Amino acid sequence: MTEMVYGAVPVQRGEPILPKWWRTIDKWAMSCILILFAVGLLLGLASSPPLAAKNGFEPFHYVQRQAFFGCVALLAMILTSMMTPLVVRRLAVLGFLCAFVALAMLPFFGTDFGKGAVRWYSLGFASVQPSEFLKPGFVVVAAWMLAAGHELNGPPGRTWSFILCVTIVFMLAMQPDFGQACLVLFGWGVMYFVAGAPMLLLVGMAGLVVVAGTVAYANSEHFARRIDGFLSADVDPTTQLGYATNAIREGGLFGVGVGEGQVKWSLPDAHTDFIIAVAAEEYGLIMVMCIIALYAGIVVRSLLRLVRERDPFIRLAGTGLACMFGVQAMINMGVAVRLLPAKGMTLPFVSYGGSSVIASGIALGMLLAFTRSRPQGEISELLGRGRMK
């Protein structure tokens, strides 16, 4: 009767965005990310002044730029983590298309900055590396294809995602950027495995990777030089690997002391690819173990939350993002201790670099969005009901 006289009852407003975001976000993973950002600034203070002096800048020029890029990355991460998985997927598709076109145009408009690989666009005041932004978009697009392939009368998502992956790997290898190519292939392989790929197929793919590596070794002087340096029994002390290895050895358990390290004066990439060597020399093994624990915490926490996820797309995309993030960190640190050949790959959210930091912020924002708590039954309950039927 009241509704007939006064009209329909007004709809209750839902929970505000910020409280809902804070209630559902993985606070442990976010805490690890924020600590990593702080560690990156701390190591930037230690590693970048020599390079700034060499280039005629103020001592903390690169630290200030890193702080700016980091704030942009954190803002992008938080905004992305507030989105629904559907919105994240739509924006990721658009971002992937833009990054893919930019990657395809690199041979015509890109630059190598004297490093022998055309990977960047020079904007004058900064540079952009399209492959960094391509990776999170590719993971989401490939996960979408793989998930769609499981639907009744769905498209051949596995085939489409494989063709897309091979195309991107080929484009990256032509730069050449074998590190990013391997990372993209690994991310796709993890999602393909989680989606239910047979082990025999994955073993066959691994064999193809070995064959491709052999061909690259025989035809690429750049690739062969790095492999030969890695396989050599002796390390040239005047190379980047030689400086990094010596710095890690000198650091010991507790380091030589803040500001007392010498490797930053010798390594041209001390603030980027070999920043872990600066951490090991000045702060010791304790700091390195803390950094490893932070990366492991983000990956493990994310995977544990994704195990309970019922949506195949969210489960696949989140797994791909988490594993790619963790493996990139593992590759960077593995190169510094000579467990892997030199790759020219940054340490996510710690190394200096606008493209790397901002792209990592976007990728982690996607991961946090996918791992937010949502009202759903546990996947184990769903499987249990399936068995009972």
**Residue 388 pLDDT > 50:** no
**What pLDDT does 79 receive?**
96
Could you read off the pLDDT of 325-352 as tens digits, one per residue?
999 999 999 888 888 877 778 899 898 8
Cβ–Cβ < 8 Å for 183, 328: yes
Domain-embedded: residue 2 = no
Could you read off the pLDDT of 67-82 as tens digits, one per residue?
999 999 999 999 999 9
- Rounded to the nearest integer, the mean pLDDT of the chain is 85
pLDDT band at 8 (very low <50, low <70, confident <90, very high): very low
**What pLDDT does 235 receive?**
67
Could you read off the pLDDT of 205-219 as tens digits, one per residue?
778 778 877 877 777
Strand partners, 127: 122
Domain-embedded: residue 6 = no
Three-state DSSP at 128 gives strand
Domain-embedded: residue 119 = yes
What's the one-letter identity of residue 133?
F
Domain-embedded: residue 98 = yes
Domain-embedded: residue 360 = yes
Q: Which residue has the higher pLDDT, 21 or 345?
A: 21
**What pLDDT does 92 receive?**
96
Domain-embedded: residue 5 = no
Give the phi and the psi of residue 196 in degrees, each rounded to 5. 105, 30
In angstroms, how far is the first alpha carbon of the chain from the final one?
A: 46
- CB-neighbour burial class of residue 338 (10 A; exposed 0-12, middle 13-18, buried 19+): middle
Three-state DSSP at 282 gives helix
Q: Which domain holds residue 162?
A: 16-374
Could you read off the pLDDT of 95-152 as tens digits, one per residue?
999 999 999 999 888 888 767 678 888 887 778 899 999 999 999 999 999 999 888 7
Domain-embedded: residue 37 = yes
Strand partners, 121: 128
Number of domains in the chain: 1
Q: What is the pTM of this model?
A: 0.87
Mean pLDDT of 309-325: 94
Could you read off the pLDDT of 151-162 as tens digits, one per residue?
878 888 888 999
Domain-embedded: residue 148 = yes
Mean pLDDT of 246-252: 86
Q: Which residue has the higher pLDDT, 170 or 389?
A: 170
Annotate 193-223 with b (16+ C-beta within 10 A) or e (fewer): ebbeeeeeeeeebeeebeebeeebeeeeeeb
Helix, strand, coil share of the chain (percent; to 5): 70, 0, 30
